[in-house]
Amino acid sequence: MYPGSDHVKTLALINTDDVVIWEYAKANDFVIISKDSDFHQRSLLYGHPPKFIYLRVGNSPTSKIVQILRGNFDTISQFVNSSVESILVLA
């Protein structure tokens, strides 16, 4: 559904400092999707790139995350293509 997407695990960035992930996403034109409020704060402070999708779902199973990402495909696509939006919050 989201071609070109990667997980930090497949990029060998798991257990990496948020700054490294942020800079990687910025350099490679990625959108960061996370439940981590640290990325939310970084996005508010620095803006984009990279863009940030904040999942405000607490401790949720992967199936819930998949449901949110699939159910908001149009909203996410519009956000990614916007030249002015930096943060998208999904719950």
In this prediction the pTM is 0.92
Specify if 59 maps to a domain. yes
Specify if 37 maps to a domain. yes
In a 13 Å sphere around the CA of 11, the CA atoms on its Cβ side amount to 17
Host domain of residue 40: 18-90
pLDDT score for 90: 97
% of the chain beyond a pLDDT of 70: 100
37 DSSP 8-state letter: H
Specify if 72 maps to a domain. yes
pLDDT score for 80: 96
Specify if 33 maps to a domain. yes
Specify if 3 maps to a domain. no
pLDDT tens for each residue of 24-59: 999 999 999 999 999 999 999 999 999 999 999 988
Give me 35's structure tokens: 């439940």
Specify if 11 maps to a domain. no
Total count of residues recorded for the chain: 91
Specify if 7 maps to a domain. no
Specify if 57 maps to a domain. yes
| Total tally of structural domains belonging to the chain | 1
